[in-house]
Chain A
Amino acid sequence: MTKITNEELLNSITAKFAGVTSVGEPFGLLTIETSREEIIDLLTFLKTDAKLQFIFLTDITAIHYPKQEKQIGVIYHLHSLVNNVRIRVKVFMDENDLHIPSATVLWDGANWMERETYDFFGVLFDGHPDLRRILNVDDMTVFPMRKEFPLEDPNRVDKRDYFFGR
């Protein structure tokens, strides 16, 4: 049983941050959207507020919607262990200007999560102490989880059409 309802949570956030909008509660998970100018202030508030106490950073990742105006979104998942409630924060950015302040000032654990997000989506986290690829090969030139890059390897030889009479 959670000690804070999503409604209370949203009210306490919007009281301080006018730019925050709620984008729904899929599966009971409150999802809010904000801007990159506000994100660190918002995360600081969520982490340090005496009542909310979202002390645990579950994950940082990103998503790519090619048809949207602001194509790339960075997504934060926070968990308040005291109140047993979770929240999801999204920040959408233009594809040509993927700069967002690093959350490593709040959580050391954000270090590798942001490296992974950079590795796969090319999001640049300003202020990150060591922003380089973490999972893919170092000399990779693309950001493979963006939709414009083909998932399949071009060197594959056993899936050519003529093997299947096409």
Chain B
Amino acid sequence: MLTDNFILFVQIMSDIQIVEAPPGVEGSGFFATSIDKAIGLARSYSLWPLPFATSCCGIEFMATMASTYDLARFGAERMSFSPRQADLLMVMGTISKKMGPVLRQVYLQMAEPRWVLAMGACASSGGIFDTYSVLQGIDEIIPVDVYVPGCPPRPEAVIDGFMQIQKLVQTESVRRRSSPEYQKLLASYGIQ
């Protein structure tokens, strides 16, 4: 009986995927890779998202965080409600023009490296709210890394968007944030 349980346990264990090591040089007793890849790997599986949820997309995000979809599987179970400790700004919902400066302030308070995910039609483009009081996409005020389409997107789509962010994090050079291109991008938003 004990043996049966142990075999079952091992079978379950074998389904668990562990992150593979990044490409590198391997030999007897050593493994060498570039620091970009090692840091990208570590960062991508320990992202601390800041949920900036203003409407129905926020409800879908709650489902994404809850047990069925469980964003914690991706190392993002720690929501940071302080922008100073967050890596990923997840903007979910309609951002009115009056909310714009608040969102911008939150983005400015985040430390580099920082990523932004725009979830849903409203955050990405204003959505159905083509009107004088609503910001027509958050990319009017802050740079966005990943757009998740949908109104609202299903939790699967949010997870897909999150995995796209993880890919960006994994492949990003450690020097990207001090590159002239990146400085130019920030300057185009009037940041710095």
Contact with A along B24-38 (1 / 0, CB 8 A): 000000000000000
Main secondary structure of the interface of B (DSSP, over half): loop
Check if B133 sits within 8 Å of A136, measured CB to CB: yes
Contact in complex: A153, B132 (CB < 8 Å): yes
Chain B contacts for A144, CB-based, 8 A: 132-133
Which of the candidate stretches B58-66, B87-95, B123-131, B152-160 sits at the interface with the other chain?
Answer: B123-131
Nearest Cβ in chain A — how far from B135, in angstroms?
A: 8
Contact of A152 among B97, B125, B131, B137 (CB under 8 A): B131
Chain B residue with Cβ nearest A151: B131
Q: Is the interface of A mostly helix, strand, loop or mixed?
A: loop
- In the assembled complex, the Cα of A136 lies from the Cα of B130 at a distance in Å of 16
Residue numbers in A under 8 Å from B132 (CB-CB): 144, 149-153
Residue ranges of B at the interface with A (Cβ–Cβ < 8 Å): 97-98, 125-126, 130-134, 136-137, 140
B130:A153 contact, CB within 8 angstroms: yes
Complex Cα distance, B140 from A157, in Å, reads: 11
The interface residues of chain A lying within 8 Å CB-to-CB of B137 are 157
Say whether A156 contacts B126, CB under 8 Å.
yes
Which of A135, A149, A156 makes the CB contact (< 8 A) with B136? A156
Interface string of A149-165 (1 = CB under 8 A from B): 11111011111000000
Question: Which of B97, B98, B130, B133 makes the CB contact (< 8 A) with A156?
Answer: B130
Residue of B nearest to A139 (CB): B97
The residues in A between 102 and 145 inclusive whose CB is less than 8 angstroms from any CB of B are: 135-137, 144
CA distance A25 to B134 in the complex (A): 37
